[in-house]
Amino acid sequence: MINDLFKQPLLFLAPLAGYTDQAFRLLCKSMGAEVMVSEMVSADGLIRDSAKTVQYAIFTKEEQPFGIQIFGSDPLVMAKAAEFLLPFKPDFIDVNMGCPVKKVIKRGAGSALMQDPQLAVSIVTEIQQALSHQIPLSVKFRSGIDNNNLNYLDFGKRMEAAGADFICLHPRTAKQMFSGKSDWSHIKELKAALTIPLIGNGDVSSPEEAKQMLTETNCDGVMIGRGALGKPWIFRQSRQMLSTNSYDPITKDILLSTILRHIDFALRFKPEHVVVKEMRSQICFYTKGLLGAAELRNRINHTESMDELLSILSLGLKL
The residues annotated as belonging to the active site are 99
Which residues fall within 8 angstroms of residue 315, CB to CB, at 6 or more apart?
A: none
8 Å CB contact between 95 and 70: yes
CA 101 vs CA 200, 202, 270, 305: distances in Å? 20, 16, 27, 33
- The DSSP secondary structure of 65-132, one letter per residue, reads SEEEEEE-S-HHHHHHHHHHHGGG--SEEEEEE----HHHHTTT-GGGGGG-HHHHHHHHHHHHHHHT
Q: Say how many C-beta atoms besides its own lie within 10 A of residue 251's C-beta.
A: 10
Do the bridges between strand 137-144 and strand 221-224 make them parallel or antiparallel, or are there none, so unpaired? unpaired
Please give the backbone phi and psi of residue 35, each rounded to the nearest 5 degrees, phi first: -135, 130
Residue 248 neighbours by CB distance under 10 Å: 10
Read out DSSP for 138-177? EEEEEEESSTT-B-HHHHHHHHHHHT-SEEEEEEEETTTT
Please choose, from the candidates 95, 92, 58, the residue with its C-alpha nearest in 3D space to the C-alpha of residue 79: 95
